A and B are shown apart, each in its own frame.
Chain A
């Protein structure tokens, strides 16, 4: 028990003799429950919550109006046109799906790697994932024009159409990948939440709360037998979600890479898309959690160390993305195909060159600040950098898409101009995202209470005298 006062309050110092505490301030199990449940039990949420929620709902309303307009008028209200038939909708789709990668990565991959620090952030990150996937699914969902026959996307026998989807098309793979990802993320999120919903149920005061949380908790009591199967199921889901999360953005990148367009037809796309997805996802988690943590007084659970870890991941994935940008250029030159060479020179210095440099600045240069400890541990700085990363990642997809404007034949060149509806829908999708996230913060446990208890110093130190336990910190 070498814990000096210092280490239980500031866990960012590395002390090789022991693992840093993941819960600070000597919180007991009860304290942890109270800390999280208070957000939900409070009679009224903080004023800032109302402000954010209010703005989000207004934006959501704008999105709704745009969607109605779209449904009645058709996809012509967008800027999509020859030669860019895929405009903002696919940029937004890839952007949101990318963001939606952090949650499952944190909950599945970090779980398999036994990264215990994930416990404080995984719930919020998973929720964010699901909401991001909802935003992502929106765009391809409505871009089909006649949304009332959306089920033609799936292999459903219809007499009307009398044909089946083409299973060798990346666009169909996309339907399956994103659909599976949304479903599995939802199952994972909900399953992880059941014990915590049971906690809420047992603290519920009103009849309505008792009924709702009672039903949602499925009668969970925390029996040892149930926990045994539950942990097994959690591990299996993590093992399933890990390849899944990698497959999703891989398949999204196939939408581009399987085509023959210069600048798209590259094998680097899958890994580069996945790295970019993790990059933008973590940036979004940081953007959301830093304000949440202060607003809901979760500083002792989501510690600076947690945030610092995430910032390190952002920096690492940022470097991967930067490397990919470089390799793309190298291969374009080394491959010796004129069209490829032109596509890349045009990317940097051509008609949309400015967006290329925004992308490079935001994604490659700015995250380098995280080499400096001050930026990694300063709340304001990290939020600003994360926002830049997200701007950069949106532009990355935009830059890729704009390859369409300059393909093989100069006679088929053209430019892309987004329409007002395009822009409003992009902004509106943030409304959808933040509305859902605000509701989540208010009504569901935003921290995985039971998992945090499992890795809190109280448990780990108690295990110290437990003869069953050899690796005190391993689980």
Chain B
């Protein structure tokens, strides 16, 4: 296949080459068909005709069997149909798969997979695959591409793509004998006859080319090897960012002074005072910032607030996670603030929020069966983590707490429990507090109580 030259050298005859066929030229298509007929009648099997265009009747004259190409294409088309439908089903109607899961698009409540909408793409994929099958199938069946062909060294044969018609008798045919075949060809009306030789010296790939080929093969192995090498490696540097998209853009940061845009020498602040934001107009307050009402927003009676450092998680951190010695506390409200109406819906809402925010640690019944707590406790037991077990909400110490105190625990956290005021709106925090109170009234007992309980009966409820 990889001959370096094709048809420039004249053919050397002699021991270095072997006769492979006789090439006979004819002047018109009709003569060619007649000659082919004769050749077949004379018993030749290994011969072929060459013409600048498909000559009619030649298939019968040579005895060419109908190609199987159509069946091959049909098979590919059917496969493509199945593939296309599966592809669309997989990527648009499923989303559960460990690797590259599909993506369900819900659009106007239409079905995720419906033939009418999936037909256009199916059709196009069928046509595309069949076209490839036809194109490549045809070349493969024809044994092409072929870079060198001994026939093309015969100058006369170049007219096979122009205006002459050729019959080529192969030497490997049983009927073939050089002199007799030549005679027959003349009888059948050939206007010129030439021998086609195979150049035996030319069979090997030149050494240089082979070496280059081997080198190339090795070079091809490099990229996958490199990829394998770096896969799964960790880097301290951020990875190469070819296209920045909008990852780094000039912008004015809120609450900062100093330029983000422009150079340090020539800053371009948004406002003359260097700020990127305006201060509120005097005497106004932003939406949601009106939190004057201590009872509602903080759960204690107005004016009884202790200072920041005395309560909440900060205190716990300062004390090195030790249980806080009862810090000074404000006077907690023990009834719900005026703005809250506690009814069934409200408690239901509290239950739902509780199950979102609190169950992970405290468990559904409030006794600390939450998975996070269980795991943290088991880690703490082996010394792998520092953790104070989530307190049972049925602990008498908790049960006795006024509702304002519960509200405060949710808002600001307590010891190892984090604050939730940034995640949960005020009203929902009250709803959770209501649910906690309701839960405490169910008579569920804390694990400690249960342990003491063996025999002693404690009155349920508080």
Contacts and interface: CB of A to CB of B under 8 A. Distances in A.
Interface of A: 28-30, 33, 146, 148-149, 155, 157, 162-168, 170, 172-173, 176-177, 179-180, 183-184, 187-188, 191, 195, 198-199, 201-203, 210, 214-215, 218-233, 236-237, 240-241, 243-244, 247, 251, 254, 449-451, 453-454, 458-459, 462-463, 465-466, 468-469, 475
Given A228-B67, A453-B53, 20 more contacts: A33-B163, A146-B245, A148-B242, A162-B103, A163-B103, A167-B117, A167-B118, A195-B161, A221-B152, A221-B157, A222-B50, A222-B160, A224-B49, A226-B144, A230-B138, A231-B54, A232-B70, A247-B120, A462-B28, A475-B56
Given A223-B49, A462-B29, A233 B6 contact: no
5 contacts: A155-B91, A166-B105, A167-B121, A187-B132, A224-B36
Interface stretch (B122-130, B262-270, B363-371, B443-451): B122-130
Given A184-B127, A202-B162, A223-B48, A465 B54 contact: no
Interface in B124-150: 124-125, 127-128, 130-132, 134-135, 137-139, 141-142, 144-149
Contacts of A237: 131, 134-135
Given A173-B120, A224-B59, A210 B50 contact: no
A240 B50 contact: no
A218 B120 contact: no
A148 B52 contact: no
Query: At the interface, is chain A mostly helix, strand, loop or mixed?
Result: helix
Contacts of B52: 29, 33, 195, 199, 222, 449-450, 453
A454 B29 CA distance: 10
B137 A233 contact: yes
Contacts of B323: none
A224 B50 contact: yes
Given A166-B107, A236-B70, A199 B120 contact: no
A30 B62 CA distance: 25
Contacts of B105: 166, 168
A183 B62 CA distance: 35
Contacts of A218: 139, 144-146
A459 B53 contact: yes
B57 A468 contact: yes
Contacts of B145: 215, 218-219
A163 B102 CA distance: 7
B55 interface: yes
Given A219-B147, A232-B69, A224 B56 contact: no
B362 to A, nearest CB: 34
B100 interface: yes
Given A168-B118, A191-B135, A33 B125 contact: no
Contacts of A199: 52, 161-162
B202 interface: no
The listed residue with most B CB atoms (<10 A of its CB), out of A148, A184, A449, A475, is: A184
Contacts of A224: 36, 48-51, 54-55, 58-59, 62, 64
Given A155-B91, A210-B6, A224-B62, A202 B161 contact: yes
Contacts of B107: 166, 168
A236 B134 contact: yes
A253 to B, nearest CB: 12
Contact of A164 (B91, B123, B149, B160): B91
B61 interface: yes
A450 B163 CA distance: 10
The listed residue with most A CB atoms (<10 A of its CB), out of B30, B53, B92, B139, is: B53
B162 A29 contact: yes
A176 B119 CA distance: 12
B242 to A, nearest CB: 8
Contacts of B114: 168
B33 interface: yes
Given A221-B149, A468-B56, A166 B135 contact: no
A236 B53 contact: no
A232 B127 contact: no
Contact of A177 (B120, B142, B243): B120
Given A168-B117, A221-B151, A224-B59, A240 B64 contact: no
Contacts of A451: 53
Contacts, number: 216
A141 to B, nearest CB: 16
B380 interface: no
A33 to B, nearest CB: 5
B54 A240 contact: no
Interface in B385-413: none
A215 B114 CA distance: 46
A463 B69 contact: no
Nearest to B145: A218
A201 to B, nearest CB: 8
A172 B67 contact: no
Nearest to B164: A29
Contacts of B242: 148
Nearest to A168: B117
Contacts of A177: 120, 124
B149 A219 contact: yes
Contact of A223 (B50, B131, B132): B50
B396 to A, nearest CB: 50
Contacts of A468: 33, 56-57, 60-61
A7 B300 CA distance: 111
B87 interface: yes
Q: Which 9 pairs between the two chains have the least Cβ-Cβ distance?
A: A468-B57, A219-B146, A29-B163, A233-B138, A218-B145, A157-B100, A164-B91, A202-B158, A168-B117
B28 A168 contact: no
B103 A164 contact: yes
B57 A225 contact: no
A313 to B, nearest CB: 24
B416 interface: no
A147 to B, nearest CB: 10
A229 B69 contact: yes
A450 B53 contact: yes
Contact of B127 (A170, A203, A244, A463): A244
B164 to A, nearest CB: 8
B110 interface: yes
Contact of B67 (A28, A149, A229): A229
Nearest to B73: A236
Given A33-B162, A233-B137, A226 B56 contact: no
B127 A466 contact: no
A195 B30 CA distance: 20
Nearest to B160: A222
Given A219-B144, A450-B53, A233 B162 contact: no
A168 B146 CA distance: 44
A214 B56 contact: no
Contact of A229 (B57, B142, B163, B243): B142
Nearest to B69: A232
Given A219-B144, A224-B49, A463-B56, A240 B134 contact: yes
Contacts of A459: 29, 53
